[in-house]
Structure 1
Amino acid sequence: MALRIIRKEGDPVLRKKSKVVEKIDSRIITLLDDMAETMYDADGVGLAAPQVGILKRVVIIDIGGGLIELINPEIIEQSGKQSDDEGCLSVPGKFGKVTRPNKVKVRAFNRKGEEIIIEGEGLLARALCHEIDHLEGILFIDKVEGNLQR
């Protein structure tokens, strides 16, 4: 495992759409491992592959209940609303209020290539939406209501 450099706001890779992972091979497994080490080192709760310069549809999340690894995630259901402050490892020192679904259901693949369904509510739903947005080249600052805070 290795720490990767987290790309910051202004880096063009953060605004590009990520490609579908066609094959889960040793490179994807290494990416997952490196992303986890990088996220934990930076005290984050989520990280998407574009944030480490890789335009692949891969995200990891840990809001305190253990590591969730998602390959080719897609939101298949959402309901409710929640508004809260968000930040991002790629936009250090800035926060802002973002409204997102309160519940989401996400279909993805795990590192073994098995299809999985993750249901999230509250913070987990927020993290899932935030990280999946990264795969579309969307940053939380695009959705902030009002002004960014420092």
Structure 2
Amino acid sequence: MRLKRQRLAIVLFTAAALTGCGSPSPQAEVARQQAAAPQEASVQFGDIIVRANAVATSGLSEPVARQYGVSREAGTVMLLVGVRRIADGDETSLPARVTARAVDLLGKRQAPEMREVRSGGFIDYVATVRVAAPETLRFDVDVATADGQRASLQFNRDFFP
């Protein structure tokens, strides 16, 4: 706990020192870093790993949007889920039944229809949800593999205009 307080004090001191130097505000810098950082969530059970990510479609390149069959537009978020088996350091896709829910801070729920996308030898599961940025969405993802194994994954993502 003491270490966290020391780190927080250093961050706050640095932010205060930079504020008067013509640097971007600390809030703008945090938002920039969050937008640039890969925000993959994952859960592993046995030799299976489930990875999920949610990104604003407006930030996707045209080829990526086309590959996943989504429109690049403001207010739309793509949920991407991959189910892989790890063996000897290699990953292979696993067919699975993937369901998801997205909930905003006011409790409004969306149940996107996950669809299978095959590309480059991999299987991914893709859906889109609507968002009115700035907003935080909680994603609940449930996976059932063909051999009956199940996993759940929950993660939050912040979206900015």
Same fold (TM over 0.5): no
Larger RCO of the pair (alpha carbons < 8 Å, separation 6+): 1
| Alignment TM-score, normalising by the size of structure 1 | 0.27
Structure 1 or 2: larger strand share? 2
From the CA coordinates, give the structure whose radius of gyration is larger. 2
